[in-house]
Amino acid sequence: MKTTVSIVGGSGYGGGELLRVLLAHPCVEVQQVTSRSHLGEYVYQIHPNLRKRTQLKFSEPAALEPADVLFLAQPHGQAQHHIEEYAKLAPKIIDLSSDFRLKDPAVYEKWYGEKHTAPEWLSKFVYGLPELHRAEMARANYVSGVGCNATASNLALLPLVKADLLDLSAPIYIEIKVGSSESGVEGNAGSHHAERANVIRTFSAFGHRHTAEVTQELGVHDVSLTMTAVDLVRGALATAHAKTKPGVTTKDLWKAYRAVANENLFLRIVKEQRGIYRVPEPKILAGTNYADLGFELDETNGHVIAICAIDNLMKGASGSAVQCMNLMMGWEETTGLEFIGLHPI
Amino acid sequence: MKTTVSIVGGSGYGGGELLRVLLAHPCVEVQQVTSRSHLGEYVYQIHPNLRKRTQLKFSEPAALEPADVLFLAQPHGQAQHHIEEYAKLAPKIIDLSSDFRLKDPAVYEKWYGEKHTAPEWLSKFVYGLPELHRAEMARANYVSGVGCNATASNLALLPLVKADLLDLSAPIYIEIKVGSSESGVEGNAGSHHAERANVIRTFSAFGHRHTAEVTQELGVHDVSLTMTAVDLVRGALATAHAKTKPGVTTKDLWKAYRAVANENLFLRIVKEQRGIYRVPEPKILAGTNYADLGFELDETNGHVIAICAIDNLMKGASGSAVQCMNLMMGWEETTGLEFIGLHPI
Amino acid sequence: MKTTVSIVGGSGYGGGELLRVLLAHPCVEVQQVTSRSHLGEYVYQIHPNLRKRTQLKFSEPAALEPADVLFLAQPHGQAQHHIEEYAKLAPKIIDLSSDFRLKDPAVYEKWYGEKHTAPEWLSKFVYGLPELHRAEMARANYVSGVGCNATASNLALLPLVKADLLDLSAPIYIEIKVGSSESGVEGNAGSHHAERANVIRTFSAFGHRHTAEVTQELGVHDVSLTMTAVDLVRGALATAHAKTKPGVTTKDLWKAYRAVANENLFLRIVKEQRGIYRVPEPKILAGTNYADLGFELDETNGHVIAICAIDNLMKGASGSAVQCMNLMMGWEETTGLEFIGLHPI
Amino acid sequence: MKTTVSIVGGSGYGGGELLRVLLAHPCVEVQQVTSRSHLGEYVYQIHPNLRKRTQLKFSEPAALEPADVLFLAQPHGQAQHHIEEYAKLAPKIIDLSSDFRLKDPAVYEKWYGEKHTAPEWLSKFVYGLPELHRAEMARANYVSGVGCNATASNLALLPLVKADLLDLSAPIYIEIKVGSSESGVEGNAGSHHAERANVIRTFSAFGHRHTAEVTQELGVHDVSLTMTAVDLVRGALATAHAKTKPGVTTKDLWKAYRAVANENLFLRIVKEQRGIYRVPEPKILAGTNYADLGFELDETNGHVIAICAIDNLMKGASGSAVQCMNLMMGWEETTGLEFIGLHPI
């Protein structure tokens, strides 16, 4: 018998992507998908890729029934108000929003500008990046989502931090380029195609909220995320500039990256001497759960560039969430996440 | 034990797409992929989406070994020279090129400008569109590929022709808009991104070779294909303008379309009154084997517009080819072709 | 002393484009630009290209002062309510909206779904396409705008109609592909970049309102416009499918096109045998007032394809409006419209 | 009488852009444009925007005649071989290539990998960025071009360097995002639209040749350029990360930027609190000679982000070259460079 899963808030991009993956997942059955704004509509009317794949309709959040696993895919700031109710409906909950990512209520308040309304729940959630918390997930009931830009940053730096190769007294500048799906299904004034097409728009110089997740998860403090929108729908590329400790060589970096890639099926090293695709690029990752990693070291001065490409809706959101579910349920980590990715695209 | 398949000419876009699908196909094992120009390279160096999914290298065409199924994915005009050799290596052959699509050698010569070198083989091949030749494929050893633009045209018109709703004395004008992957991995002078981006370029007014496949398969003669390149990588949309017989109503069309969609799992009708996706669009089909169909009838004058959207590399090439293999082998028609498609994209 | 011009409704795309052209026009001085929604803001905050070129701010419509020429660039349906007031403020008015394009109030009501509120004004306006009404404009006080898709259609067919080469008993199907600026500064649900990028979206099969302008201006009745959105910001391409009279040859068409191109400085024939740019393409027209024309004839059956590419915001709106002003004021027709266009782009 | 100018190597993107600007320049007459590969063709066949604007044909380089000003727009490494001949044909020469940008032959050899063949000419050339060398240009006969990425970098940092606000002991990391026209008319393997569309491709981590121009012109030594290709044709955005001296405030930066913008007509500060266009963006600069500057300072740690957006073919190449000519000839600096730029685009 299949595991029943329901999605709260299924009409956004994250919810739609979850649905796409879960409908094809061999171990689960999607039971309910809620949406207040699209109540009663077929899910394929909002997510047109699902046509002829499901006859599910969006249902009333208030009519949510018990399920084995509950995915929360609402806008930020909502899950914390209802977590007690949700916990009564399902033994396992994965929340894609930012409500339960940060451990410290003070840190949450600093970055989100308001008091957390369920601070006692923060410690119950495991941060939802399997590459950092795989073991804990096996026994977790509550797992948070991840910020897409935090994920690109965390995975870019992971091999360097894990192998302790960085000089943490130097600042880390992370330049992140992102597609338009990051602005969500509602978008904003600048989302109109006529304004958003062809852009190279550095919309946030410092202070992006996902910075808090990088600091919390990697323990790096002098770090900034600079966000630039480019003409793409899906995808994010983080390029981190940092300094290595004295004497660190390219060979050391290869070793560190290989170790991490060997332990994690969804991490791939892309560092080729020829061909068109020599470095990580998000476009070929659309729909996949891969994070492609690359690096370059200037041995003369220790300047290291660490690159990570992801699909922000998959590895940066719904893909990681399903990967977490697989770990929580004891299934193969890659189940339902086998899509290879398209080329050309 | 899995069925062994090999691909001749695997470094092009069609070959790469075949590989992507076949590597994830539960019933087959990819044995060899040949490429003269990339001999000895890992296939993932050319098709970067395949990284960490296969360690296959491109092999010498001359070293091709026997296999259960052989896919030919070479440029047009090559398969006909080697078909005798290939037939000795594999009992079942699917040729994606245009070499064995047309039944009449005279028609081939007219459209391709040169004599066919293996005319006796033309009658041995079944035209590779399952929606037209499903029954024959179950007992076929040789199946041709399909022209991507022919496929979009044939499937756009299929419900109307099958239900005999068209006034064939009126001309049929098919406007086809296509992405840049149609020009192949080599491209042409106009393929440079700086020239090809942002285009609306009507590169062929009449006389596109795929016209011959529409005439042959649907029996329509006064038909023209007008080709316009637009800024997209994958995808083709055919919009056919035709005249219905007197008295035909929108209700008749619904009936005709529903009949065809019910018989064919990869055909979907898209005709919504609300939402963003009311008509067939290729972008959400990238990587899928669907053909989405739509129509609109002006009952005052019988002007009907029949629309078909496909991914030119899938339903228009490699996807149909795998669908044919499934039918030839007696497997579920959708095996390996279950990918749902992405939204947003 | 310069001619004073004011713009009513200057915060939309049409108004912004007018401003760009008028600020660089040697004979005029822009006096006022009104906008209710952006009252008091610098115009460069909405039209960022105007930074450091003007310190104008948007002013209150109610505070509009007398001017030599008034451009109305409001949404459709507004000018007709205020035309009496405007006529008191300026001796010459050019209205870019659709309010005064159609001569017959009944035709207006049919296409726009409501009664015209100033029907007595319809006959006072000259239809704003100089290529059709140049002589009248020299003595006109009131000139309407043009529909961008109507303009692409009218100019595509103009040489054929003028030389009487068409068999008007056959239907004319015009396929028009357009960029996202056509949906206006407000856009619609489908304008979000994540939904609008990569589209080939046939959003209107028949019944586009601009059809009425084609019928009125060219006297063709069995004509339909089919609209498809593609991934581009500025630009429209019309591809008209029609039938020539018996015996018409390609040579006849060349003669007809050359005659029209010789009489009209902004019309260019694009029909090359080599190179990348063999046919009319909108992308190189961005910011220019050109309409590029092309054609192809199948002499075996009289099927003619007539193509016209324009920048919808220029020749399809603001550029034609300035061209009209030049004619109304007795200036060189090309004044202020000399921009050459960019390549590559 | 107009000043005669000729262009050597006019079939590339830089040459085409020069032609576009010079054909509309009121003080000059374009006399000859050479191209070996397109000998005898009309220039509008290669640069389709020039149709109906000039009947010039490409001529033989060997047939170059004397002119008042000679623009060299050849691929890098050619001008140095022919500079003696060119100097006999024209009293004033502007070379867009990289041959005469670097003052020190050893630096040239280090970055370009080969000995300079005319090192004695290096000191005769003024570096072609008017914002740095305006006074010298008034009396110069020979002016070099500028690297487009160097220009974006130099102008991003100019206000900070000029006001001596930077802590030069900290490294400067410049992240540059660029469009596809930067790869030149020939492109490279990755230029095929199907591969180049949708990219975020960090093709050069360090060691870009333009770095040498930043070091030479600004006197900064610990500086690196990281290059990322994005989906755009024209445009480059440089985002420089640096450290200010202790105590530097946002107010100090405003002062430094205003001073530089006041002295330079083509520099604009873009730093808005509302609206869509709050920061410099290249898309609205297409065809213009503007460089838009922005900045953001984290006063808590001195991390400053300095942004510069340009059209790489204009301010980054041909526009700056024409601006240099204006200064060399004693004309208004902005002559022929008045194009306002398009919005939306």
What's the pLDDT tens digit per position in A131-165? 999 999 999 999 999 999 999 999 999 999 999 99
Low-confidence ranges of chain B (pLDDT < 50): none
Residue C148 and residue C183: Cα distance in Å, rounded? Answer: 11
Supply C255's token pair: 């003669």
Helix ranges, chain B (H)? 13-23, 43-46, 79-89, 105-112, 130-137, 148-162, 193-196, 211-218, 250-263, 319-329
Residue C306 and residue C324: Cα distance in Å, rounded? Answer: 25
Cβ separation of A193 and C13 shorter than 8 Å?
no
Residue B72 and residue B74: Cα distance in Å, rounded? Answer: 6
Residue carrying structure tokens 């100090």: D252
Outline where DSSP puts E strands in A116-222. 125-126, 142-144, 172-178, 200-204
**Which of B230, B229, B235, B72 lies closest to B152, judged by CA?**
B235
Cβ separation of C340 and D284 shorter than 8 Å?
no
Contact D261, D293 (CB under 8 A): yes
Task: Give the 3-state secondary structure of residue C191.
Answer: helix
- pLDDT over 90 (residue A225): yes
Smallest CA–CA distance, residue D79 to chain B, in Å, is 26
Cβ separation of D200 and A189 shorter than 8 Å?
no
pLDDT of residue B189: 87
pTM of the model: 0.98
Smallest CA–CA distance, residue A104 to chain B, in Å, is 34
Cβ separation of B206 and C239 shorter than 8 Å?
no
Chains meeting B at 3+ CB pairs closer than 8 A?
A, C, D
Is-cis flag, bond preceding A344, omega within 30?
yes
pLDDT of residue C21: 98
Interface of A with C (CB under 8 A): 13, 179-181, 183, 185, 187, 191-194, 196-198, 231, 233
Region C296-318 average pLDDT: 98
Q: Which residues on neighbouring strands pair with residue B172, listed in sequence order? A: B223
pLDDT band at C1; cut points 50, 70, 90: confident
Q: Which residues on neighbouring strands pair with residue A175, listed in sequence order? A: A226, A239
The radius of gyration of chain D's CA atoms, rounded to the nearest angstrom, is 20
Condensed to tens digits (0 to 9), the pLDDT of residues C164-198 reads: 999 999 999 999 999 999 999 988 889 999 999 99
Supply D151's token pair: 């220009």
Region A215-240 average pLDDT: 98
Question: Could you tell me the strand order of the sheet in which C200-204 lies?
Answer: C200-204, C223-230, C172-178, C236-243, C303-310, C291-298, C267-269
Sign of CA dihedral A59, A63, A66, A72: positive
pLDDT of residue B1: 86
What is the Cβ-side half-sphere exposure of residue B248, based on CA atoms within 13 angstroms? Answer: 24
CA distances A209 to A127, A225, A252, Å, are: 15, 9, 32
H/E stretch holding C112 reads helix C105-112
Is-cis flag, bond preceding C91, omega within 30?
no
Interface of D with A (CB under 8 A): 171, 173, 175, 177, 189-190, 194-195, 198-203, 205-206, 222, 224, 226, 228, 230-232, 235, 237, 239, 241, 275-276, 278-279, 281-283, 294, 296, 298, 301, 303, 305, 307, 309, 344-345
Q: Which of A27, A148, A308, A324 is catalytic?
A: A148
Residue C234 and residue D345: Cα distance in Å, rounded? Answer: 6
Can you say how many angstroms the Cα of residue B298 is from the centroid of all Cα atoms in its chain? Answer: 30
Supply B5's token pair: 């398949």
Outline where DSSP puts E strands in B172-300. 172-178, 200-204, 223-230, 236-243, 267-269, 291-298
**Which of D343, C123, D313 lies closest to A197, judged by CA?**
D343
> Is D148 one of the annotated active-site residues of the chain?
yes
Residue C20 and residue B342: Cα distance in Å, rounded? Answer: 40
Smallest CA–CA distance, residue A294 to chain B, in Å, is 14
Task: Give the 3-state secondary structure of residue C304.
Answer: strand
* B35 burial type by CB count under 10 A (0-12 exposed, 13-18 middle, 19+ buried): buried
Smallest CA–CA distance, residue A216 to chain B, in Å, is 30
**Which of A99, D183, C71 lies closest to B195, judged by CA?**
D183
Torsion of CA D183, C272, D18, D62, to 10 degrees: 90
Region C312-325 average pLDDT: 98
Residue A105 and residue A122: Cα distance in Å, rounded? Answer: 8
pLDDT of residue A1: 86
pLDDT of residue D49: 98
Residue A101 and residue A316: Cα distance in Å, rounded? Answer: 13
**Residue with the larger pLDDT of the pair B183 and A292:** A292
Residue B131 and residue D66: Cα distance in Å, rounded? Answer: 69
pLDDT of residue C291: 98
- pLDDT over 90 (residue A325): yes
Count of C-beta atoms within a 10 Å radius of residue C24: 16
Produce one character per residue of B199-227: b if its CB has 16 or more CB atoms within 10 Å, e if not: bbbbbbbbebbbbbbbbbbbebeebbbbb
Q: Which residues on neighbouring strands pair with residue D302, listed in sequence order? A: none
**Which of D51, D313, D50, D5 lies closest to D185, judged by CA?**
D313
Closest residue to C233, CB basis, from A181, A197, A233 = A197
Cβ separation of B200 and C345 shorter than 8 Å?
no
Helix ranges, chain D (H)? 13-23, 43-46, 79-89, 105-112, 130-137, 148-162, 193-196, 211-218, 250-263, 319-329
pLDDT of residue D189: 87
Cβ separation of A202 and D282 shorter than 8 Å?
no
Q: What is the mean pLDDT of chain A?
A: 97
Contact D71, D116 (CB under 8 A): no
pLDDT band at C153; cut points 50, 70, 90: very high
Interface with chain D: mutation pick from A198, A273, A281, A296, highest number of D CBs within 10 Å: A198
Condensed to tens digits (0 to 9), the pLDDT of residues D282-316 reads: 999 999 999 999 999 999 999 999 999 999 999 99
- Output the CA angle C278-C292-D59, nearest 5 degrees: 55
Residue A307 and residue A296: Cα distance in Å, rounded? Answer: 9
Residue C281 and residue B201: Cα distance in Å, rounded? Answer: 6
